[in-house]
């Protein structure tokens, strides 16, 4: 008589034991899965070379831009032999990207991400194994400010604001109940002049946008004449300071 085979019909059958891969082990396999998926997608669009283009996408503050899109387009016949049209990849959580399967040749490379200026595409030569190309994108910033009444404590509601950029373009705004207003569309290093008027009081401030910071202004003086104040943002107090104003 043969040995019992069990209900599965195999004498070598052993009940399977469920095993759960630890979180750290699962994470170790994720980059491999993403890389394999990227190779499959690139193969599907006709990549046949052996070179790799990669790098990091960062903003102009040197911070990585997670999930930024990178587009690579061949610009000569040699490069076109490895890719049919443009290729798009997505950077990882640290802004790193890689495009494998390229042939030697010139490629146009551009980065895209919400909240950042679309940079001008660059043409570069891909050759000799792995080519590194880091992409810098300018972060869009918002000028934010809070305006106070003459006591320096009470928010100035419904004050009229005129924001003039260095190129002469002007925007207007009105302060909210908390004395705040904001104007988008700035980039690091952009210069501006803010003029706030309420009743017969005025404050004017010139400065430079460095980040999404908030500046503070206090109304004083008259809307015209010597009462107009001009100063630079004090980065420590976030208050407007006027080096020519000797008023105690």
Note whether residue 80 is domain-resident.
Answer: yes
pLDDT in tens, 148-206: 999 999 999 999 999 999 999 999 999 999 999 999 999 999 999 999 999 999 999 99
Q: How far apart are the first and last CA of the chain?
A: 110
- What does the pLDDT read at residue 209? 92
CATH number of domain containing 195: 2.60.40.10
pLDDT in tens, 85-125: 789 999 999 999 999 999 999 999 999 999 999 888 999 99
Whole-angstrom distance, CA of residue 36 vs CA of residue 40:
6
Q: Which of 117, 137, 157 is the last residue of a domain?
A: 137
- What does the pLDDT read at residue 236? 36
- Domain count for the chain: 2
Q: Which of 207, 225, 226, 228 is nearest to 216 (CA)?
A: 207
- What does the pLDDT read at residue 221? 57
pLDDT in tens, 19-65: 444 444 444 334 334 433 343 334 333 455 789 999 999 999 999 99
Whole-angstrom distance, CA of residue 62 vs CA of residue 78:
34
Q: Which of 115, 137, 159 is the last residue of a domain?
A: 137
Instruction: Tell me the pTM.
Output: 0.64
- What does the pLDDT read at residue 212? 78
- What does the pLDDT read at residue 233? 39
70 and 44 in contact (C-beta within 8 Å)? Answer: no
Q: Where are the beta strands (DSSP E) in 92-140?
A: 96-102, 105-112, 122-126, 130-132, 135-137
- What does the pLDDT read at residue 11? 43
Note whether residue 87 is domain-resident.
Answer: yes
- What does the pLDDT read at residue 48? 58
What are the φ/ψ torsions at residue 26 (nearest 5 degrees)?
A: -60, -40
29 and 35 in contact (C-beta within 8 Å)? Answer: no
Same domain flag for 110 and 55: yes
Q: Which of 137, 156, 183 is the last residue of a domain?
A: 137
Same domain flag for 87 and 116: yes
- What does the pLDDT read at residue 159? 97
- What does the pLDDT read at residue 43? 39
Q: Where are the beta strands (DSSP E) in 80-224?
A: 87-90, 96-102, 105-112, 122-126, 130-132, 135-137, 141-148, 160-165, 170-174, 180-186, 191-198, 201-208, 214-218
């Amino acid at each position: 008589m043969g040995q019992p085979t069990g209900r599965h019909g195999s004498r070598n059958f052993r009940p399977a034991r469920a095993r759960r891969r630890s979180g750290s082990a699962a994470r170790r396999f994720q980059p491999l899965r993403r890389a394999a998926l990227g190779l499959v997608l690139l193969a599907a669009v006709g990549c046949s070379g052996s070179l790799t283009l990669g790098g990091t996408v960062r903003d102009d503050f040197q911070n990585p831009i997670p999930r930024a899109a990178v587009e690579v387009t061949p610009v000569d016949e040699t490069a076109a032999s490895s890719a049919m049209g443009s290729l798009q990849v997505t950077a990882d959580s640290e802004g790193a990207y890689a495009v494998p399967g390229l042939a030697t040749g010139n490629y146009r490379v551009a980065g895209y991400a919400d909240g950042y200026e679309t940079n001008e595409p660059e043409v570069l030569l891909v050759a000799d194994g792995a080519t590194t190309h880091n992409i810098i994108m300018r972060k869009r910033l918002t000028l934010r400010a809070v305006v106070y009444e003459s006591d320096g404590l009470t928010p100035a509601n419904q004050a009229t604001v005129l924001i003039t950029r260095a190129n002469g373009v002007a925007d207007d705004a009105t302060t909210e109940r908390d004395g705040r207003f904001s104007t988008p569309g700035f980039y690091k290093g952009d210069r501006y002049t803010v003029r706030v008027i309420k009743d017969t009081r005025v404050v004017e401030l010139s400065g430079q946008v460095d980040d999404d910071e908030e500046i503070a202004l206090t109304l004083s003086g008259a809307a015209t004449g010597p009462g107009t104040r001009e100063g630079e943002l004090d980065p420590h107090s976030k208050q407007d300071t006027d080096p020519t104003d000797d008023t105690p």
